[in-house]
A and B are shown apart, each in its own frame.
Chain A
Amino acid sequence: MTKILLANTDKPDQASIGKYRERGGYKALEKALTMEQTALIEEVKASGLRGRGGAGFPTGMKWSFVPRNTNKPTYLLCNADESEPGTFKDRLLMERDPHLLIEGMAIACYALNCHLSYIYIRGEYEFVANTQQKALDEAYDAKILGPSLMGKDYPLDIFIHLGQGAYICGEETSLIESLEGNRGYPRIKPPFPATHGFLASPTVVNNVETLASLPWIVQNGGAAYAAIGTEKSKGTKLISVSGHVAKPGVYEVDLGYPLLDFINNEAGGIANGRNLKAVIPGGSSVPVMTAAECEGALLDYESLLKAGSMLGSGGMIVLDDTTSMPETLSVIADFYAHESCGQCTPCREGTGWAAKILKNIVAGKGQRSDLDLLLKIVDRMEGKTICPLADADVMPIRSFVTKFRSEFEALCAS
């Protein structure tokens, strides 16, 4: 399998600029700066790279929505607010190869004609931010960043902005509100950030993994990247796997790699000789897959969609046959109830109501009719809110209750 993102993350000295450059670092930026800005955008379009934060929106297309020749500044915001339960891949990139992110950001900034950029890192990752800041300081000292980007007449500043414990701020308009010094309430779209983002200026929000893929794409060409993966899912993806596997961790796979091969080979199989019960393949917000549904499923956007779930952030949680599905769902539902920003009624009331019902069921105080009530509630939450947080609660609830109904019923009085 191709190593684009984790090529050097196992080397303990990779975070230093000297070693990064020794291993070919900042060569892609050098090359990018000899290219036309629009040609760079075309290259990223040709690569087929899709947003790796969870939504999977084509990156080149997102960039092309940014108006050129406006009198407003353009901002690139790196989304490092990694908070989707099960996801811990961006943390690894920033801890182990922080210059890769800086190089990717510098390429993106140049392509977008952006001169001021922020990395929005979740506050819990303060120690990660310290590593990333050290790398930024090195890049400034080496005159890569600052008044002239690698010697070119092009100023670029990149600053770190810490979040303070709000999952919702990973949603791009919420991130922008938070960066502006407000409560992180998601905005109604349109207008989209591409035209009215940070300080009402054109803004692109890209995930860490997305940006870290850019140096390879520039060095090897969009076509080479597009040659990896499947027809609709190009390139490689980081999968952070946790739960009941023998070797949890972050792995890079070519998109289209079989899900069960990944669990059995990369992740070392189910721990303690137990059997697979279910998989949440893309962070806790995506529909759960039964062991049977995992048969033949591939780790890519279209295959997982066909199998009734989503690739999401690549935050895979594996559940063995000792796992109580109602309890698992109750933990997940508590999370979304806690993290709902409260702006939209269906989400504020729905997430809390569902969490309470599930707590009751787990405590043995539920009724069978509660299960239909749960399904009714989620129907009325879905697609009725400003941002996708409500849907992120709907998908696990609906899938757990539907696919493992008998387990829920066993806990309920008839």
Chain B
Amino acid sequence: MIEFSPEAKKRFQTILSHYPAKRAALLPVLILAQHEFGWISQEVAEYVGALMDYPPSDVLSVATFYTMLHKKPAGKYHIDICKNVSCWLMGVNPCIDEIKRKLEVERREVTADGKFSWDVTECLGSCGTAPAMQVGDRYYENLTPAKVAEIIDRLRQE
């Protein structure tokens, strides 16, 4: 059986207190669950469902709507690189190739050491500093293939 850490339990109560209806807290609770458990598995959906008084199928139907909620395990560092217009115009494709070359896994796959996974994503709102990618809560902008390689090397050391 999985369970929130004591801090997460506290955070859960705070989240509930922000909404006049419990259901409205579902998305923030799913975000919290992903922080805690890494991805939204069936087990996590059951746990969140029990906390929120909804069947796990309902929880999963919501989770599957939102691309940032992982429906399979992700690496410790999940890279989302933008492939939308401005990033594409400014040369994101060679950067995507560099990610593939460095990590040696395909989209949505996790590296053997569990450290990295990657995906292409839609507009990150970094059009003026394109190309851009996101790792966790960090943005990396004005990318070049060399910069991408450097970032991945640095994250490997962390």
Contacts and interface: CB of A to CB of B under 8 A. Distances in A.
The 10 closest A-B pairs by CB, nearest first: A181-B26, A164-B66, A242-B127, A165-B68, A165-B67, A248-B128, A183-B65, A181-B23, A242-B86, A126-B137
A161 B28 contact: yes
Interface string A161-185: 1111111000000000011111110
A130 B137 contact: yes
**Which among B69, B86, B124, B134 has the highest number of chain A CB atoms within 10 Å?**
B86
A88 B27 contact: no
Given A184-B65, A249-B128, A86 B86 contact: yes
B107 to A, nearest CB: 13
B155 interface: no
A162 B31 contact: yes
B21 A87 contact: no
B122 A243 contact: no
Contacts of B18: 157, 159
B62 A181 contact: yes
7 contacts: A124-B124, A127-B138, A163-B66, A165-B121, A181-B23, A248-B128, A317-B86
Contacts of A64: none
A297 B121 CA distance: 33
Interface residues of B, number: 40
Contacts of A250: 128
Nearest to A334: B83
Contacts, number: 137
A244 interface: yes
A85 B128 contact: no
A116 B84 CA distance: 35
Given A125-B125, A164-B27, 8 more contacts: A86-B85, A91-B125, A164-B30, A164-B69, A183-B65, A184-B66, A243-B127, A338-B122
A180 to B, nearest CB: 5
Contacts of A335: 84-85, 122-123
B68 A123 contact: yes
B37 interface: no
B67 A166 contact: yes
A328 B27 contact: no
Nearest to A329: B85
A97 interface: no
Contacts of B139: 127
Contacts of B130: 242, 248
A28 to B, nearest CB: 26
Contacts of B41: none
Given A124-B68, A124-B134, A127-B139, A331 B85 contact: yes
A82 interface: yes
A326 interface: no
Contact of B85 (A83, A85, A240): A85
Interface of A: 73, 82-88, 91, 116, 122-127, 130, 157, 159, 161-167, 178-184, 199, 240-244, 248-250, 280, 284, 315, 317, 319, 323, 328, 331-332, 334-335, 338-339, 341
Contacts of B125: 82-83, 87-88, 91, 122, 124-125
**Which among A124, A183, A284 has the highest number of chain B CB atoms within 10 Å?**
A124
B112 interface: no
B25 A328 contact: no
Contacts of A331: 83-85, 88
Contacts of B30: 164
Nearest to B86: A242
**Which among A242, A284, A317, A332 has the highest number of chain B CB atoms within 10 Å?**
A242
B61 A127 contact: no
B20 interface: yes
A391 B128 CA distance: 25
Contact of B27 (A122, A162, A319): A162
Interface in B64-91: 65-69, 80, 83-86, 88-90
B50 interface: no
B111 interface: no
A166 B66 contact: yes
A126 B125 CA distance: 12
Nearest to B130: A242
A178 B27 contact: yes
A86 B31 contact: no
A241 to B, nearest CB: 7
B156 to A, nearest CB: 22
A184 B67 CA distance: 12
Nearest to B61: A183
B24 interface: yes
Given A164-B27, A181-B26, A338-B122, A315 B127 contact: yes
A334 B31 CA distance: 27
